[in-house]
Amino acid sequence: MHAFRYCSLVCVLLLITTTIQGEEVKSTHPNVLFIAVDDLNHWVGHLHRNPQTKTPNIDRLAGMGVTFTNANCAAPACNPSRAALMSGLRPSTSGCYDNGQAWSPVIPKKLTLTTQFLNAGYNVYGAGKIYHAKQHRDGEWTEYFQEQPTKLTLDPSAKNNGVGGIKFGPLSNTESDMPDYKVVDYALEKLDEKHDKPFFLAVGFVKPHMPWSVPKSYFDRVPLDSIQLPPHTKNDLQDVPEAGIKMAKPNGDHALMLKSGRWDEAVQAYLATIQFTDDQIGRLLDGLQQSDYRDNTIIVLWGDHGWHLGEKEHWRKFALWEEACRAPLIWVAPGVTSANSVCDQPVDFMSIYPTLCDLSGISIPDHVEGPSIVPLLKDSQAAWEPPALTTFHRNNHSFRSEQFRYIRYADGSEELYDHVEDPYEWTNLAKDTKYDEVKANFQKYLPKKNVPELPKGTGNKKRQKKAA
């Protein structure tokens, strides 16, 4: 009863706006700026993975609060990563393990992150890509902006539209033609409005998702003759079990890229697209700083998963190694975080839902599987035990501690990498018995529930539409 009275009092105090000497005092209930970036791996300046990348605005945001150097996605694919983050249910609980599997039949509206904020009295605005394929459901948002597309055209300097399924090339369009530019325009309008309720503003950037096609000026910033290929080694898959090789598909994208001789062009295009995205994030941050809400708005930025560009003879996400699992995670929480804080503790994106609730005075629903990381936001050096967990398809799990990555596949095969000695995961230590205790410690965190995979295909899409 005492806890109920306390929570009720807190909610009342947070939602009431008072007037002192004729001046309005802003509610202490924090606003939220929720920034989702599609296919952005750890090639951002402050994570020091690729010295060629230039992300001054993302780095500026990192300097404003806490950046997590060992943040990992829940799943290395857009659909399951976003469904897990937004629902609080891991892929092994929902059955949504991959793209093409409809999440809405198994994730009721009442469970989602945005619903919790709506129920707490927030206005909840969305724009761009928050769920996979820009899917969203009525009833979970106050308003959702759908930008009007402009035709995008390759610049005459482009050789073609890429290599096989890896699509890239400079555009003749202007920056303002890009969907992400329009999404930021919408967000800036919301930040310029007067709000009578706290707001949750979700801004989803499509880039740097393929095609890596942005205005040519961004390619010009990254001259082709300056490009360095990502660190890689020959025969990198020779000590990887068959389950890992099956995910890598070395005879697919990577073989085509080697044959084409255009690996450096693809890297250039990805870097150019990251710079475009960084510019748009800069516009968004500038708008917040110039708004009335700069001092009472929580900011969280996350990339939905990583991306391989030839490391381990693999392209795209869809794997359980560092490049596919690790992505940026930055938090700025007024009164909680300190500027220029760096946290090396391993966390995964299942922490985002409960942490936002925790920071906003909203009860964390019982179904949410991730822990709140508010203790790490307050003290980036605080003790932390659980490893980060990433899942791709049923019973395939990847764990990250501060030192090690451990992968266990459905068939029982394993990989183990020591990131102090081997940051690019070139030497699989799983068969070395001196690491048996390390593996056993990870195995304690294997999910107890691993439900069957949801079906794929158009029939499932029909089910999703009906359920929505």
- What amino acid positions are annotated as catalytic residues? 78, 132
Non-local (6+) Cβ contacts of 188 within 8 A are: 283, 284, 287
What burial class does residue 305 get, using C-beta atoms within 10 Å of its C-beta: 0-12 exposed, 13-18 middle, 19+ buried? buried
Q: Take residue 377 and report the two structure tokens written for it.
A: 């936001």
> What type of residue is 169?
G
CA 228 from centre of chain: 25
Cβ atoms of 452 and 394 within 8 Å: the answer is yes
CA-based nearest residue to 381, from 71, 62, 66: 66
Percentages (nearest 5) of helix, strand, coil residues in the chain: 35, 20, 45
* Greatest Cα pair distance in the chain: 73
Residue 96: C-alpha distances to residues 108, 235, 450, 456 (Å) = 13, 33, 11, 10
Distance between CA atoms of 295 and 292, rounded to whole angstroms? 8
Taken in order 134, 101, 400, 251, is the CA torsion positive or negative?
A: negative
Side-chain-side CA neighbours of residue 362 (13 Å) = 26
Residues facing residue 330 across a β-bridge: 67, 301
Residue 233: C-alpha distances to residues 36, 100, 172 (Å) = 32, 33, 36
> What type of residue is 283?
R
CA-based nearest residue to 125, from 29, 30, 26, 204: 204
> What type of residue is 357?
C
Between the two ends of the chain, the Cα-to-Cα distance in Å is 37
How many CB atoms within 10 Å of residue 42? Answer: 22
70-101 b/e with 16+ CB inside 10 Å = b? bbbbbbbbbbbbbbbbbbbbbbbbbbbbbbbb
> What type of residue is 188?
L
What are φ and ψ of residue 6, in 5° steps?
-65, -45
